[in-house]
Amino acid sequence: MAIADAPLTGSRSTGAALLALAIGLFLIVFLVVPVGTVIYVAFTEKGGGGFTLVNFLDFARTDLFVRSFWNSIYVSAMTVLWSSAFALPLAYLTTRFEFRGTALVQTLGFLPLVMPPFVGAVAMQLLFGRNGTVNLLLDEWFDFKIGFMEGLNGVIFLQAIHYFPFILVNLSAALRNIDRAMEEAAQNLGSHGLRLFRRIALPLALPGYVAGASLVFVKVFDDVASPLLLNVKEMLAPQAYLRITSIGIDDPMGYVIAVVLIVIAVATMWASAWVLQGKDYATTQRGGGGLARRKLTRPQSIAAYALVVFILALVLAPHLGLLLLSLATVWSFSPLPDGYTIAHYARVLGDSSVYITNTLLYSGMAAAIDVVLGGAIAYLVLRTRLPGRSALDWGAGAALAVPGVVLGIGYLRAFYGVKLPDGTPLAALWIMIVLAIAIRRLPYALRAAYAALQQISLSLEEAAENLGATKARTVRRIVIPLMTGGLLAGFVTSFATAAVELSAVLMLVQNNSDAPLSYGLYVLMQTPAGRGAGAALGVIAVLIVAICMGASQLLADRSQRARGLDI
Amino acid sequence: MFRSIALAAALVLVTGVAFAQGKVTVVTSFSKDVTDPLKKAFEKATPGTTLEVQNRNTNAGVKFLEETKANNQVDLFWASAPDAFEVLKAKKLLSPYKPKATGIAEKVGSYPVNDKDGFYVGFAASGYGIMWNERYVKANKLPTPKEWQDLAQAPYFDHVSISAPSRSGTTHLTIETILQGEGWAKGWRTVKEIAGNLRQVTDRSFGVPENVNSGQVGYGIVIDFFAFSSQGAGFPVKFVYPSVTTLVPANIGVVANAPNKAGAEAFIEFLLSPGGQEALLEPTIRRLPVRPETYAKAPADYPNPFKDKNLQGLLTFNAELSEKRNEAVDVLFDQLVTFQLEPLKAATKALHELDAALAKKDNVQARKLAQEARDLIAAMPITDAEAAAPEMRAAFTGGKQKTARQAELEQQWAAFAKEKYAAAKAKAEEGLKLAR
């Protein structure tokens, strides 16, 4: 392991400065300005008037908001705990051991993140709800029920299932980057088992874990959908959403909460940077390296498979429910549907091709933008000394906390008045949907890029530069190839979650031919007769993401192997 | 552009039939199940037009029109809640249109079908009531409700669902109907007694039929077509109109500065035509047509507001009063019920237990305590006059002459409710000790 050394100094090239400027401009135009047009309301008294902080005072004096704030903190922290419990075994077993089905586990373990809006909720209720499959059976056999989905604990249960892939993906990428030699060295010195994990693998993979865990914390803190689908309203993000969408766009309190959410998100990112500060996680050698993974003994292997299957069964239950729902005729107050049909698929098939194309196009473009921006910001922050570089980081991180509906309204405000030559408003172009999604998913790619770069030893770049390579060439030939795994993780996370993004999309979709899958789902779910068809569309969305995931997983493995031979 | 509109308008005047072409853009809260059949039928009946449907919920739709008015691209706004149209009208986002179609009823129930100023047109009617899941009710051995007050009885505890009136235009009208039908104080008493039995207050109106259909709750307070279309989809659910209900029209209106005004008008005429009205009878739509003759083609048990006795002589809904206290009623419900549901339920549960004990063994003192507890639950922080006062409205809309900021009022009302519910629970528990 390289001795800790400070980032390079003096490499303030104009290229980096220009890059920073371009990114800054992008963030200002597509994030700061639109959000600013909405959120300044937090600092004015309702009905006009000058600058005031009285709304923040009201926030602190309202029991409901204070209660919601602590509920949100509690739920977020507990979710991080549970998600870690789900993610750690899956990540460790599949990256550090010879484990058949690694690609499958990684792909399946990622799917919970792709929970289609609305129908995912219905499926969960049908399985785990008060009168869902599990409870109906428990009641029949043993005369008791378990409140999986009741109150805050229900939210924690649901969120942990939903968001643990953030930890899984980032931790796996980090673990994969650790050279086997590190573990071998420790083993030669007599370390094994949990101690080996605790003292070698986990510390070296800490950037990945912290990236994932901080994302989970902020995401859960800012998530609107899951609490609301369990009818838990006394959390901060749902309060903001409910106020903005029901009391109205002029009500300051919704934006006061939005400001609080943004502050918490930035603080979390800052705290996660602080945790990693002053330590060096870089190793000069990259993982894989052609070296063999560790082997499991037979009993170990049986225990490992049992654990993996159990975790996967739990976290994939919602998707099983979704599949059943999409095939069900009527499913009401019974453990399983009354009958099965493929009529729902037939019904959505006609419309869905345009939705699928749009979803792939939008999510793909958004994720590509995110990876480029995220990688660039991570590089600027970690490898240059440009003044104000961390502002880019905080800015992009704050995007995590901007409620989708605020971003959507901000886009309409900022861009609807801008007319194209033929008179159509700028905000009506589909590219605006892409940009909105890209902004909303940027923090995912950014965290992943950050973690990937933190693991690369500076000495590799120094070596290249000593050999005469220019800065640009070093980045191209050394940094980017070594970051590939992390960047890919970022791409996949952004892509998959973008595919089911709804709140901002809903404000921006102007006609059906520009609409992505999530919008089609929303439209279908406005009647009781639509939930089967909605579920069918949801299954299609999940399948698309799964296929793309599997493909990129293969790609990652292949490139890893190819590079393993190169080194 | 202007000339072609003028030409089309002239043609309309001459022939009485809208000469429509091109794309007609409509913002609607109705689902695909509703819009698809009507879109298909319209495009067939009016060759050369396409109907572009933008689906947004009512509030988001209103906001969208507001945010985009400088460069409006939308021709029609199409939704249930009449109050949303009132809002649009007040913001001058609608342009008046008088339909040419004849044979349309003046009133459904006792609600005028069309806006008196001609800014929006009713094309179907809907009423509010109670839906329930038969399997759930059977498994839990629960009764069948007929009136709102039934839902307040002990057996219904923790089995009822409603959407928040601040989140759902239809629920708002349901609450307002009860308040107008029974008066402010008695109406709120009924509302809170039912609320004490709630399992949940959902944030989407669709959440209620969804939970009833899947059997997560037994009963839901819903607009009729949610229940009818659930039945159409095969779910084991039933529906009843209580005697205090009202039928209100679902509406459509031409947006101000519509790019395709002729097309917009053609679509309205189509909706009101015999063909358009018949399309409302489809199993996935199930709205009540405003053309009385259409009911001849309806299925056997279809409600008919022009004939059925229970839908005659309903409450005359006072839209003006409703409009005045719109925000106050929403915020009151949220602060007294939605965000105080646990304390309210705890008090109600204690009261149900006390009632059961009293039924077994009467006790005058305990009976008095029960009444006191009921009055505490029913207590309101403001009177109906205060709720409809302009100063109250100003607190919510940001006017100058306000009594307090909205956040201050909310905190006051929440604290009021919390204290009263806790006191009610204490009284009921005290009574229970005496009664045992």
- A560: CATH: 1.10.3720.10
Contact A332 B52 (CB under 8 A): no
Provide the pairing of β-strand B121-133 with B288-289: antiparallel
Report, in angstroms and rounded to the nearest whole number, the Rg of chain A calculated over CA atoms.
24
DSSP annotation of A28: I
**Chain A / chain B CB contacts < 8 angstroms:** 185
Residue range A415-434: mean pLDDT, rounded: 83
CB B213 within 8 A of CB B235: yes
A289, part of any domain = no
Residue range A328-342: mean pLDDT, rounded: 91
CA distance A76 to chain B (A): 21
Residue A400: is its pLDDT beyond 90? no
Residues 518-547 of A with CB under 8 A from B: 519, 522-532
Closest to A242 (Cβ–Cβ): which among B32, B203, B398? B203
Q: Which residue has the higher pLDDT, A225 or B291?
A: B291
Residue identified by tokens 């996370």 is: A493
- pLDDT, residue A284, reads 66
Instruction: With cut-offs at 50, 70 and 90, classify the pLDDT of residue B179.
Output: very high
CB atoms within 10 A of CB B10: 11
Query: Which of B345, B328, B334 is closest to B396 using CA atoms?
Result: B328
A292, part of any domain = no
Contact B203 A524 (CB under 8 A): no
N-terminal to C-terminal alpha carbon distance within chain A: 17
Complex confidence, ipTM: 0.80
**Cβ of A350 under 8 Å from any chain B Cβ?**
no
Query: Which of A114, A276, A255, A285 is closest to A185 using CA atoms?
Result: A285
Number of domains in chain A: 1
- pLDDT, residue B313, reads 64
- pLDDT, residue B8, reads 46
Residue B296: is its pLDDT beyond 80? yes
Residue range B249-275: mean pLDDT, rounded: 93
- Give percent above pLDDT 90 in chain A: 26
Closest to B229 (Cβ–Cβ): which among A63, A511, A527? A527
**Cβ of A507 under 8 Å from any chain B Cβ?**
yes
Strand partners for A253: none
Instruction: With cut-offs at 50, 70 and 90, classify the pLDDT of residue B60.
Output: confident
Residue by residue, what is the 3-state secondary structure of B285-308?
CCCEECCHHHHHHCCCCCCCCCCC
Query: Which of B22, B73, B262 is closest to A423 using CA atoms?
Result: B73
Chain A positions touching B51 (Cβ under 8 A) are none
N-terminal to C-terminal alpha carbon distance within chain B: 81
Considering A546-555, B253-262, B313-322, the range whose residues carry the highest mean pLDDT is B253-262
Residue B113, C-beta contacts closer than 8 angstroms, at least 6 positions apart = B104, B105, B106, B107, B121, B122, B125, B249, B290
Chain A positions touching B71 (Cβ under 8 A) are 416-417, 419, 423, 425
> What is the amino acid identity at position A102?
T
Strand partners for A294: A97
Contact A528 B235 (CB under 8 A): yes
- pLDDT, residue A406, reads 82
Task: Please tell me the least confidently modeled range out of A9-18, A125-134, A449-458, B68-77.
Answer: A9-18
A7, part of any domain = no
- Per-residue tokens: B206: 């669709």
Residue identified by tokens 């509302």 is: B191
Considering A179-183, A350-354, B343-347, the range whose residues carry the highest mean pLDDT is B343-347
Q: How far is CA A33 from the centre of its chain?
A: 24
Chain A positions touching B135 (Cβ under 8 A) are 332-334
Domain range for A327 = 15-280+297-566
Contact A62 B411 (CB under 8 A): yes
A291, part of any domain = no
Instruction: With cut-offs at 50, 70 and 90, classify the pLDDT of residue B342.
Output: very high
- Per-residue tokens: B214: 């899947």
CA distances in angstroms from A120 to A161, A531, A538, B168, B320, listed in the order given: 12, 10, 8, 22, 41
Instruction: With cut-offs at 50, 70 and 90, classify the pLDDT of residue A377.
Output: very high
Chain A positions touching B339 (Cβ under 8 A) are 64, 233-234
CA distance B145 to chain A (A): 20
- pLDDT, residue A562, reads 62
CB B74 within 8 A of CB B23: no
Residues 171-230 of A with CB under 8 A from B: 228
- β strands within B3-105, DSSP E: 22-28, 49-55, 76-79, 94-95
Q: Compute the half-sphere exposure of residue A566: CA atoms within 13 Å on the CB side of its CA.
A: 13
- pLDDT, residue A207, reads 85
Instruction: With cut-offs at 50, 70 and 90, classify the pLDDT of residue A310.
Output: very high
CA angle A347, A351, A357 (to 5 degrees): 135
Distance CA B174, CA B184 (A): 14
Provide the pairing of β-strand B247-255 with B121-133: antiparallel
A76, part of any domain = yes
Q: Which residue has the higher pLDDT, B333 or A403?
A: B333
A100, part of any domain = yes
CB A173 within 8 A of CB A208: yes
| Angle between helical axes of A63-96 and A102-110 (0-180°, round to 10) | 170
Query: Which of A16, A108, A173 is closest to A317 using CA atoms?
Result: A108
Residue A382, C-beta contacts closer than 8 angstroms, at least 6 positions apart = A7, A450, A453, A454
Mean pLDDT (chain A) is 83
Residue range B264-288: mean pLDDT, rounded: 91
Q: What values do phi and psi take at A510, rounded to 5?
A: -110, -25
CB atoms within 10 A of CB A227: 28
Residue A4: is its pLDDT beyond 90? no
In a 3-state reduction of DSSP, which class is residue A140? Answer: helix
Instruction: With cut-offs at 50, 70 and 90, classify the pLDDT of residue A6.
Output: very low
In a 3-state reduction of DSSP, which class is residue A346? Answer: helix
A439, part of any domain = yes
Residue range A470-479: mean pLDDT, rounded: 82
- What b/e sequence results for A468-503 when a residue is b if at least 16 CB atoms lie within 10 Å of its CB, and e otherwise? ebebeebbeebbeebbbbbbbbbbbbbbbbbbbbbb
A226-241 pLDDT, tens digit per residue, is 888 788 899 998 898 8
Residue identified by tokens 């800015």 is: A395
**Domains of chain B, first to last:** 2-126+248-311 (3.40.190.10), 127-245+320-435 (3.40.190.10)
A462-471: long-range contacts (C-beta < 8 A, 24 or more apart)?
A462/A8, A471/A11, A471/A13, A471/A15, A471/A16
The secondary structure element, H or E, covering residue B127 is: strand B121-133
- Per-residue tokens: A224: 């609107």
Chain A positions touching B34 (Cβ under 8 A) are 527
CA distance B1 to chain A (A): 12
In a 3-state reduction of DSSP, which class is residue B199? Answer: strand
Distance CA A251, CA A44 (A): 10
DSSP notation for B139-151: HTT-PPP-SGGGG
- pLDDT, residue B162, reads 95
In a 3-state reduction of DSSP, which class is residue B161? Answer: strand
- Per-residue tokens: A18: 């220009």
CA angle A428, A431, A435 (to 5 degrees): 110
Dihedral angle, C-alpha B356, B362, B364, B369, nearest 10 °: -10
CB A331 within 8 A of CB A141: no
- pLDDT, residue A254, reads 84
**Sign of the alpha-carbon torsion through A243, A246, A252, A258:** positive
Q: Which residue has the higher pLDDT, A6 or A258?
A: A258
